[in-house]
Structure 1
């Protein structure tokens, strides 16, 4: 029997691990695959690791990796992909916002010939209005400035063939944005829509600011548009400055009056200085990414594991 490796990143999820396993057991008999669970403890500060150890003792197909500290979800995803041994691999959230009952339908699509079967939320019920607004506009922006197209509402929850996983593992970049990488590698993809679900227990560690920073990572990793915008702003500011100088010079010749407006001059200087700092910030962000890539630090450090890695 072929194997399905299930990668489950965990950060402070002591309340949801047992619920997740309980729901997944119901699905195991509906999919003709051997299930392999790989929980990745991303430096949790609660009792998540203890719960995972107990689960590993009770079920032989439950495994865990535990990081030395919190490295982030992207690190947990790549660690799980590297540890997976199945012919098929899926990524799921432990809070049950990714419906386990979709797996039989997802596997059926794989059997039909698709390489990736992803999931997407058809609505954002229960999500804060501001977060939904920015999320929708993020997908509009990234799809308009990047060659890699991302599906609005797409989740990390997707079923992939081994060929797809191997292709993703060939991407050795340190700065990772998985939603973009899953799209970048291509392959035949099918999306299944479902209604949004609330967490089964516990509280999310994702707030507006962390999601905003995550969206910036996606834009910078998959588009050079911010650099183009910075260049355009610089050229436009320079042109406006030249026109302003010509205007004040001619005005002084015609009226024979000294150019007034010390406050306006200060405002213009501050405005142009702000634009320069803004553009330097964009350039600096890209240089920072280069700096991290050049150092070639590992994406994560495993402190302990039930797997032989």
Structure 2
């Protein structure tokens, strides 16, 4: 494994003009000390502040910096895909622009990679700077995914990881438009190992992921790597039909044998609203999967590049 000597740090950013200079100062010190030919690729995901100007200044000051600017905001998953598509080194290491995933751990990730592992992923032992609700919902999501999906997606693991050249090549073959990168990293397989670490607070600025965006990302992950919701809708429908049939027989028997009157309008409306709600939920689940098929069949490009500047 000693011949693998080059690595690219991939950092996708959206409106991170305050965090990037602080993050790069730390990363530059790491690259200076790293026993490898290291460079960094910053991806601007259509930022609306001064992020691109900050990136240009970083590239002017450091010849190891390459820049990629997308034509608009495509979202973190596609920005990350764009960055990995442009990596030409032996490995790539993914970092967040906010500094929560410490670049100082890079040497330890590289050491595990040189032992023969193709993916070294960071598992969070602690999440500083995040509310208890965000920690709780993130923990619940990973456990639900573990139950729903046949692909083993590591718990409490984000995008912070090192991936080898052959994993990069494998990811380039997965061109689905609706992307959940954490699932794709697990799906490609190869030798993977966990690296426990403590996640730090942001170095500057605020999170761009509100609860609505996190909810949509969770739906993306579930529908990309599991069909269990579709089967659950079928099972609930069958169970409801059997229960309704049994209840109907009970009403007939009670009326014929004991002369009890059939329950009136309130109970009828309750049953109708209950069944109507179940039908709408089932249609919504089917609609989620159908909408993703609609996006896939159009075969639009995953992303569009507005500016590409390799390192000098």
TM-score of the superposed pair, with normalisation by structure 2: 0.95
CA distance in 2, matches of 1:35, 1:127: 31
**Contact 1:7–1:39 (Cα < 8 Å) also in 2:** yes
CA distance in 1, matches of 2:54, 2:184: 31
> Residue 253 of structure 1: CA displacement?
1.5
Q: Which runs of 5+ in 2 are unaligned?
A: none
> Residue 208 of structure 1: CA displacement?
1.7
Does residue 1:71 correspond to 2:71, yes or no? Answer: no
Match of 2:22 in 1: 19
Does residue 1:9 correspond to 2:12, yes or no? Answer: yes
> Residue 126 of structure 1: CA displacement?
3.5
Q: Which runs of 5+ in 1 are unaligned?
A: none
CA distance in 1, matches of 2:37, 2:175: 29
Deviation digits for residues 138-183 of structure 1, max 9, x if unmatched? 1111112211112221121111110111011111111111111111
**Contact 1:90–1:159 (Cα < 8 Å) also in 2:** yes
CA distance in 2, matches of 1:295, 1:8: 29
CA distance in 1, matches of 2:5, 2:114: 13
CA distance in 1, matches of 2:72, 2:89: 27
Within a 5 Å distance, the mapping from 1:1-309 to structure 2 comes to 2-307=5-310
- For the residue of structure 2 that corresponds to 1:64, the secondary structure is strand
CA distance in 2, matches of 1:171, 1:300: 14
Number of aligned residue pairs: 308
- For the residue of structure 1 that corresponds to 2:69, the secondary structure is strand
**Contact 2:31–2:39 (Cα < 8 Å) also in 1:** no
**Contact 1:65–1:302 (Cα < 8 Å) also in 2:** yes
- For the residue of structure 2 that corresponds to 1:280, the secondary structure is helix
> Residue 257 of structure 1: CA displacement?
4.8
**Contact 1:10–1:39 (Cα < 8 Å) also in 2:** yes
**Contact 2:102–2:199 (Cα < 8 Å) also in 1:** no
RMSD of aligned alpha carbons: 1.5
CA distance in 1, matches of 2:184, 2:7: 21
CA distance in 2, matches of 1:218, 1:29: 37
CA distance in 2, matches of 1:228, 1:186: 26
Runs of 4+ aligned residues of structure 1 deviating over 6 Å after TM superposition are none
CA distance in 2, matches of 1:152, 1:213: 19
**Contact 2:70–2:303 (Cα < 8 Å) also in 1:** yes
> Residue 213 of structure 1: CA displacement?
1.5
- For the residue of structure 2 that corresponds to 1:195, the secondary structure is strand
**Contact 1:9–1:73 (Cα < 8 Å) also in 2:** yes
**Contact 2:65–2:310 (Cα < 8 Å) also in 1:** no
> Residue 2 of structure 1: CA displacement?
3.2
